[in-house]
Amino acid sequence: MKTIKNGAFVELHYKGTFPNGEIFDDSRTRGIPMKVLVGSGQVIKGFDTALVGMAEGQIKKVNLPSESAYGPRYPEAIITAQKKAFPEDFPFEEGLPVAGQDPNGNPVRARIVSFTDTEVVLDHNHPLAGKDLNFEIEVVKIGSSKNTGTLGNHTVKELRAFAKERGIKGFSTMKKAQLIETLSS
């Protein structure tokens, strides 16, 4: 029986619920399975770990404490910004997700917690941080790591993580094309 190992390309369906049973995500509602390179860090740690050893067609239920999911909530990730940092006609609303850039031009995401006439309180924590999560995972298909077309869809960081898992020497200095060629052989 073929089972999932780190480095396998997997197609799967999942349903994510909170401990009270409330559904927060379900891949079946989108009508297509999620594709994952197992062990690449593409999904949360506990989910990735749960996939290893599963077989095609298998359904598994896992309970992840927040530390194995999106981690804890960090109070220092909640900041106050000046309202003038937003466009003049911005429609402020509590709970609204916002995106912007930090002073170095890096993308940042947050949610509006509250606002006044002059300030906006923003929470940069992941919305699921600090929460225990349950997943029902169904493996639809197990592929191999030889699919170079799929390898090309991954970042250099993901490819290096996969190369490290496979014990490939010199991966940390390889460019994307070299990583794909090495991982495909």
Are 9 and 145 contacting, i.e. CB atoms less than 8 angstroms apart? yes
Domain positions in the chain: 1-73+130-144, 75-123, 148-185
pLDDT in the model for residue 148: 45
Selected from 3.40.605.10, 3.10.50.40, 3.30.1490.270, 3.30.70.260, the CATH number assigned to the domain covering 1-73+130-144 reads: 3.10.50.40
The residue with greater pLDDT, 149 or 130, is 130
| Degrees, nearest 5: CA angle 144-52-168 | 55
Question: pLDDT band at 150, cuts 50/70/90?
Answer: low
Provide the percentage of residues in the chain whose pLDDT is more than 70: 93
Cα–Cα distances in angstroms (integers) from residue 154 to residues 16, 40, 99, in the given order:
24, 9, 23
The CATH-assigned architecture of domain 75-123 is Beta Barrel (2.40)
CA dihedral 159, 176, 164, 44 (to 10 degrees): -20
From 13-17, 94-98, 126-130, 147-151, the region with the lowest mean pLDDT? 147-151
Question: pLDDT band at 145, cuts 50/70/90?
Answer: low
pTM given for the model: 0.71
